[in-house]
Amino acid sequence: MDIKKSIQIFDALSQETRLRAFRLLVQAGANGLPAGALSEALGTPHNTMSFHLKHLSQAGVISSRREGKSLIYSANFESIHALIAFMVNDCCSLEFASIRQDKKKCCAIIELADCCKPKERNTT
Amino acid sequence: MDIKKSIQIFDALSQETRLRAFRLLVQAGANGLPAGALSEALGTPHNTMSFHLKHLSQAGVISSRREGKSLIYSANFESIHALIAFMVNDCCSLEFASIRQDKKKCCAIIELADCCKPKERNTT
DNA sequence: TCCATATTTCCAGACTAATAGACATATACT
DNA sequence: AGTATATGTCTATTAGTCTGGAAATATGGA
């Protein structure tokens, strides 16, 4: 992932309506949710929601498919995985963070050392 | 990390000058860099850089200390670690991402499954 | 075809962020 | 005190974002 793309994703997720919509789509999984369900769930007018969904789509973190009259949106997990990898590689000290590919388990393993503050460990 | 805080950090990192400055500070490690070095490295006027450094400070991703005439900025790695944890927990499918604390190695282990590549739509 | 539903696009106003010049503050040295 | 260096604050301008009403497009059914 290049810096422009990562800025685009940070930008997409830096607005409350968009981040909330994105998290609903993450929860919904591969099935996704229709645009109307998102605007209803978040109490946002349909045209405003459409504006934000377009923003998220252009950043590549969601995509859509048509089913009858509805457009079903769903999260693109691989783009978020790529952003996490970018943050580990480029926004963390190499001294304290590492990422490697586990071929057998077919997954990326990230180690994040508790480098900076061994005192507080609030996971919220 | 709550949603407001994560939005604040996404916002801080969603601007090119700020993301580049932050990455320079990440590279610089605990020693950090003076404000002047950042504005020179990025070709940004000192007052504009000061504006962006304040933005990053308020988001909590960097902090500063005075050394003589200079203000030395450095990256707050724990805030980025917290954001990565937030993304794994709240912006990834639980089905495909997990985070756990390894007490012995004193680090967080994240597993990111290569979920999306074999693009089979599981319509439940 | 006509209508209802679902969603997007167009548009304008309100708001917010980024930029850089001018000035202010803090420190160190003489 | 006076001066130079380093950086922050104030201010205005410019650029971009968010919002929601109105109109447009797409689909499915009577």
- A24 CA vs D8 C1’ separation (Å): 41
Report helix, strand or coil for B1.
Answer: coil
Asked if pLDDT for residue B100 goes beyond 70, the answer is: yes
For residue A118, tell me if it sits in a domain.
Answer: no
**B118 domain-assigned:** no
Q: In this complex, do B92 and A31 lie within 8 Å of one another by their Cβ atoms?
A: no
3-state secondary structure of B19: helix
Q: Which of A19, A31, A121 sits opposite B3 (nearest CB)?
A: A19
The reply to whether A55 has its C-beta less than 7 Å from any atom of strand D is: yes
Our count of domains for chain A comes to: 1
Q: What is the mean pLDDT of residues A3-29?
A: 97
State the CATH number of the domain containing residue B25.
1.10.10.10
Residue B93 lies in a domain: no
CA distance B37 to chain A (A): 19
In B, residues 105-124, which contact A (CB 8 Å cutoff)? Answer: 105-117, 121-124
Task: Say how far apart CA A105 and CA B1 lie, in whole Å.
Answer: 29
Protein-to-nucleotide distance from the CA of A87 to the C1' of C14, whole angstroms? 35
Classify residue A9: in a domain, yes or no.
yes
- Rg, chain B, Cα only: 18
What is the full DSSP assignment across B74-88?
A: EE-HHHHHHHHHHHH
Give the pLDDT of residue A118.
45
pLDDT: which is higher, A101 or B114: A101
Any domain includes A124:
no
The reply to whether A86 falls in a domain is: no
Residue A18, in any domain of the structure: yes
The pLDDT of A5-27, averaged and rounded, is 98
**What CA–CA distance (Å, rounded) separates A6 from A86?**
8
Closest to A60 in 3D by CA, of A76, A73, A74:
A76
In a domain, A42, yes or no: yes
pLDDT in tens, A75-91: 999 999 999 999 999 88
Whole domain around residue A65: which residue ranges? 3-78
Q: Which residues contact B63 (CB under 8 A, 6 or more apart)?
A: B57, B73, B74, B76
Q: What is the mean pLDDT of residues A99-118?
A: 80
- CB of B51 nearer than 7 A to strand D: yes
**pLDDT at position B57, please?**
98
